[in-house]
Structure 1
Amino acid sequence: MNQQSKPFRRIVTGHDTDGKAIIVSDAPPVRSQLVGGPGGPTFFEVWHTLETPALIHYQPDETDERGLVLPPPTNGTRIRVIEFPPEGEEIRKLTGADAAAKFKSMGDEKAFTSQEGAPHPLMHRTQTVDYGIVLEGEITLILDRAETIIQPGDIVIQSGTNHAWANRSDKICRMAFVLIDGQFTNDIR
């Protein structure tokens, strides 16, 4: 199934030398990566900050980051858009080693948590608070003991929960994610 997704722009604002607000750049995100080959999701890395509170410069620029990194920087934030194609048998039948390799390719193999009997082969958990917003399509959020279908306009607030995403529809699902570095409390480590 060949589905073409609508491109989107990343508009970055800043200041001129007089301190007046300007547009620094207006273009599609400069980095995208298909994860896991054909049939896998495409990650569009939109922006990240290295700290919070974030330092505000006259002319913000992207910090140098090599490749895809799943979590935000320590004490930082990340915004990305992910396009999830319809999930096929190749995902549902992933071995543990193959699924772990997918997380390794995203720079965070320790996020992988799936074990035999897990509700989905791509279960994972990060020490982050994530805001996920469905922009187009629909997707199923899978947790250890629950699942729900998320539709356009729905927002998920994920607090370090073990989860996976499954696109059980016949169309691409596009989601925006804001990831904020976090730390587990002693009672849920």
Structure 2
Amino acid sequence: MNQNQKPFRRIVTGHDENGNAVIVSDAPPVHTQLVGGPGGPTFFEIWHTIETPAPIHHQPDLPDESNLVLPPPKNGTRIRIIEFPPEGEEIRKLTGADAAAKFKSMGDEKASTNTGEAPHPLMHRTETVDYGIVLEGEITLVLDRGETIIYPGDVVIQSGTNHAWANRSNKICRMAFVLINGEYTN
């Protein structure tokens, strides 16, 4: 977590042996990963489910992934926080191969759609429905045709579309994402 950003906790609830609601865990996220080295985004993996409907256990099992995986599991969900630093020249100059390598480090090389003519080098597409909520800062959502600035409290519903995130401000943008496994109909 960037030293200027307010830390956050992951609080997991469950049930005790008598069926009463209790706090199972209250700590920072256990899996954090800087992607692409200095100047890249930091991913805070919060939780994922492996099926829908999600089984509800008295004591929830902590997710067991040791590496960053961009999409949720098949038929599952994923929640993460991402801190996007201000975008520098190193991002704007990425080639298609560079972009594919960055997505490979996130466990989904095929998500990259940078063909050299994309409106942003980190354009990508996943077979998911994503809810993105800006918590702090601002960020630009870049699509094939058009873009818009997203501010704190704004929510983006990303329906498997080709997109990129560009932080053109001078401070970090923190976003929460809920990813739901999807399936293209055409």
Q: TM-score, normalised by structure 1?
A: 0.96
Instruction: Provide the residue aligned with 1:164 in structure 2.
Output: 164
Shift of 1:5: 1.4
Instruction: Provide the residue aligned with 1:146 in structure 2.
Output: 146
Shift of 1:97: 1.0
- What SS does structure 2 have at the residue aligned with 1:33? strand
Shift of 1:3: 5.6
Give per-residue Cα distances to partners, 1:141-183, cap 9 Å, x unaligned.
0000010000000000010000000000000000000000000
Provide the C-alpha distance between the structure 2 equivalents of 1:156 and 1:87, rounded to a whole number of angstroms. 20
> For residue 128 of structure 2, what is the amino acid of its counterpart?
T
Provide the C-alpha distance between the structure 2 equivalents of 1:87 and 1:137, rounded to a whole number of angstroms. 13
> For residue 65 of structure 2, what is the amino acid of its counterpart?
E
- What SS does structure 2 have at the residue aligned with 1:90? helix
Q: How does 1:76-115 map to 2 (within 5 A)?
A: 76-115=76-115
Provide the C-alpha distance between the structure 1 equivalents of 2:175 and 2:63, rounded to a whole number of angstroms. 23
Shift of 1:4: 2.2
- Segments ≥4 residues shifted beyond 3 Å: none
Instruction: Provide the residue aligned with 1:65 in structure 2.
Output: 65
Contact 1:3–1:172 under 8 Å retained in 2: no
Please tell me whether residue 41 in structure 1 is matched to residue 8 in structure 2: no
Alignment RMSD, CA only? 0.9
Provide the C-alpha distance between the structure 2 equivalents of 1:31 and 1:110, rounded to a whole number of angstroms. 23
Instruction: Provide the residue aligned with 1:122 in structure 2.
Output: 122
> For residue 45 of structure 1, what is the amino acid of its counterpart?
E
Provide the C-alpha distance between the structure 2 equivalents of 1:63 and 1:40, rounded to a whole number of angstroms. 24
Instruction: Provide the residue aligned with 2:12 in structure 1.
Output: 12
> For residue 128 of structure 1, what is the amino acid of its counterpart?
T
Provide the C-alpha distance between the structure 2 equivalents of 1:3 and 1:80, rounded to a whole number of angstroms. 19
- What SS does structure 1 have at the residue aligned with 2:110? helix
- Equivalent pairs: percent with the same residue? 83
Q: TM-score, normalised by structure 2?
A: 0.98
Provide the C-alpha distance between the structure 1 equivalents of 2:63 and 2:47, rounded to a whole number of angstroms. 9
> For residue 169 of structure 1, what is the amino acid of its counterpart?
S
> For residue 117 of structure 2, what is the amino acid of its counterpart?
G
Q: How many residues align?
A: 185
**Structure 2 unaligned blocks of 5 or more:** none
Instruction: Provide the residue aligned with 2:137 in structure 1.
Output: 137
Provide the C-alpha distance between the structure 2 equivalents of 1:61 and 1:13, rounded to a whole number of angstroms. 11
> For residue 14 of structure 1, what is the amino acid of its counterpart?
G
Provide the C-alpha distance between the structure 2 equivalents of 1:35 and 1:62, rounded to a whole number of angstroms. 23
> For residue 63 of structure 2, what is the amino acid of its counterpart?
T
Give per-residue Cα distances to partners, 1:30-54, cap 9 Å, x unaligned.
0100000000000000000001110
